[in-house]
Structure 1
């Protein structure tokens, strides 16, 4: 295993701000991106699930990448989500993201059609061959219906531009096997696994909760890197109540993040969080921030 961090350690799966009338708000996106980098994010992942990619147009996706790249410059990596159910469409999105200035591509497993492993492998290779950008595979079978199996991941690791994985497979054994046997940089996509995956050699995380609490999440990795595993565990435990409310309370992470960040509405079919949920989220956020002051 050779540990690499091609996009940094602490990455935020960034929300996509909209105006009050539901239009793309590039000025707000640029401000939020700069804020996240100032607060400790090494990288920003755009146009993913949290970024409401199912309901943004191709033109909006490209405009968002361009605006954020211009805003953060070389202070952070910008990874563009380009996944779709169609290989052809994914290639088109990948090329547009490259032209817009992205530093890398996030490519999810094709969804709904549930292709077999050989087709999944061919899909990823085709996309990786379409640009000069490094690729982060996105393994999230709970949403796509199909896992990137360990053997498939091991074969894909040989491609020179497939360099990383956003891991939402909830299979610590399988992930640890790939981490041990390849140089793929694993990024936890599930906040509760940020520290466990990091402990077995992951590169870091891609977090929705980082939209709201970037410093407390990064502090966990900082403590671990200093060799203070007890402090890392303590700090990790402090993030869990907010992470649970944001990611496991029955509401999508996009909805809960936008309930705490001034970034406009969500697009239908998503709906905003109700008052009771917002109050719980704010209370958990304030408790974390109060305890994290000085971290």
Structure 2
């Protein structure tokens, strides 16, 4: 997943929200829609003072470890390829009526052309005719967000979650909405709800890291989730690696939260070689 300016990701996220109560996605999850993360990282670095966050390594482990992926090893010390858990939202086998599919596609075309009033009317009609589908409610929330109707947006996202508690897109859209209006506690809870549903959701880890780092000034809590995102995407983003290096300089925590190789056997000389300070090597992930 290429890391680009987050502003450019918003329309992609809007276009890819799934329209059904739970089946195959029409695209990837939305990531974030704030200013570009690299620019935010620079500004946040200058804003964080030396006394910033007093969260200990123990607190980080206690609060985050249950939601993080972990690199496992064979008894011989070789890495075992990590198999991310599947997105439960996409595993649902729900038959979508062809009429609903066509109506959604037409409403979505209106939305992409900026015809928000007509799109809203069309999506509302779908919710009345097919009340078991959660996706149209996500779209209605996104349209309300665009029209800056915060109350309607939040109500629509929560309605989507009520209809389908596995709708990952709805949780992330709700969290982004809450973060934009300054409800950081609500955004945090929504991202954690995603990880409760699907702990290996890369975008939830990335967005939660950004929330902790740039909005809550808790880099120690952000670091594990930046690392989780890097791990889950296979270490393919140099930009994310740069973010990790930068945040490690601020926190002073060099030990990986994801990849902690076992100690090597005692050498014949009687010494012990330890790899406990090794950084994650996600580029070797299969």
Compute the TM-score of the two structures, normalised by the length of structure 1. Answer: 0.30
Q: Whose strand proportion is higher, 1 or 2?
A: 1
TM-score (norm 2): 0.31
Whose Rg is larger? Answer: 2
Question: Higher helix proportion, which one?
Answer: 2
